[in-house]
């Protein structure tokens, strides 16, 4: 009987890729281990073994969760994870953290004879006193910044004494209740401090020499006004 001829190449049974065959060893059926695993997985899905194993795992998980189910100590919601100490809602998290901090402070009190927050406050005061003694006043370290602060304060005091009286409602009515920074309408019913509430913005900031007058003020959303700050322009605030 003639010996079977060993092929030089094989065609992968899964992806159809051609693969070279070595001179020794068994003749492979697949081009790689990943193709062999993918073919095995496909067969298990075709004959239903994968679905049966998945359903068995789901039933086992459900049984384990039912055995571990216990109520949350704060709100009573059933918890299925064995290591959970609270259900995970925001209110229960806050109450749990408060209880832990209370227990930790009590343990600190029993061990040291004083509450931690009092010790921490004293440490902070001591640190502040030491830093104040080690570092000179910021006006001494940054004289140019101090001069700028003094100049701005003198300017604002001068403007406050001789400034034009401005009624915000008149400014909004003049501008048609429209934000002059983003172009979106301003809702009079939105109250401060909502970012979309009404505010009065100085076109040229007071810190840059702008006047407190009707000609230099404009309607703006509070968010737009805050984002502008002491700049001449600002990015539009987020629309609601």
Residue 129 pLDDT exceeds 50: yes
pLDDT value at position 240? 38
Burial class (CB in 10 A: 0-12, 13-18, 19+), 12: middle
Output the DSSP codes for 208-221. GT--SSGGGEEEEE
Out of 9-23, 95-109, 177-191, 195-209, pick the least confident: 195-209
- The percentage of residues in the chain with a pLDDT greater than 70, rounded to a whole number, is 93
> Which of 77-86, 199-208, 230-239 ranks highest by mean pLDDT?
77-86
Per residue in 45-74, pLDDT (tens digit) is 999 999 999 999 999 999 998 998 999 999
How confident is the model over 14-37, as a mean pLDDT?
A: 90
Alpha-carbon Rg of the chain, whole angstroms?
A: 37
User: How does residue 220 score in pLDDT terms, banded at 50, 70 and 90?
Assistant: very high
Instruction: Name 70's bridge partners.
Output: 79
pLDDT value at position 4? 67
What is the model's pTM?
Answer: 0.38
Residue 213 pLDDT exceeds 90: no
pLDDT value at position 128? 87
Residue 99 pLDDT exceeds 90: yes
């Amino acid at each position: 009987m003639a010996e079977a001829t060993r092929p030089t190449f094989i065609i992968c049974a899964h992806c159809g890729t051609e693969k070279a065959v070595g001179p020794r060893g068994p003749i492979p059926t697949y081009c790689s281990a990943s193709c062999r695993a993918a073919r095995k997985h496909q067969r298990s899905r075709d004959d239903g073994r994968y679905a049966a194993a998945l359903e068995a795992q789901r039933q086992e998980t459900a049984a384990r969760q039912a055995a571990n189910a216990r109520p949350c100590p704060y709100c009573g919601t059933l918890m299925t994870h064995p290591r959970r100490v609270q259900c995970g809602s925001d209110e229960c998290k806050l109450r749990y953290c408060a209880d832990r901090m209370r227990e930790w402070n009590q343990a600190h009190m029993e061990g040291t004879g004083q509450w931690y927050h009092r010790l921490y406050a004293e440490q902070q005061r001591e640190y502040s006193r030491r830093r104040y003694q080690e570092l000179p006043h910021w006006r001494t370290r940054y004289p140019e910044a101090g001069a700028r602060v003094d100049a701005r304060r003198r300017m604002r005091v001068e403007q406050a004494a001789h400034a034009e009286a401005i009624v915000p409602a008149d400014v909004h009515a003049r501008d048609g209740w429209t934000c002059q920074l983003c172009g979106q309408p301003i809702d009079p019913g939105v109250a401060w401090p909502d970012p979309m509430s009404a505010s009065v913005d100085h076109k040229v900031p007071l810190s840059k020499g702008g006047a407190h007058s009707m000609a230099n003020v404009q309607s703006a959303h509070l968010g737009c006004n805050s984002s502008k700050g002491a700049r001449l322009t600002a990015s539009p605030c987020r629309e609601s």
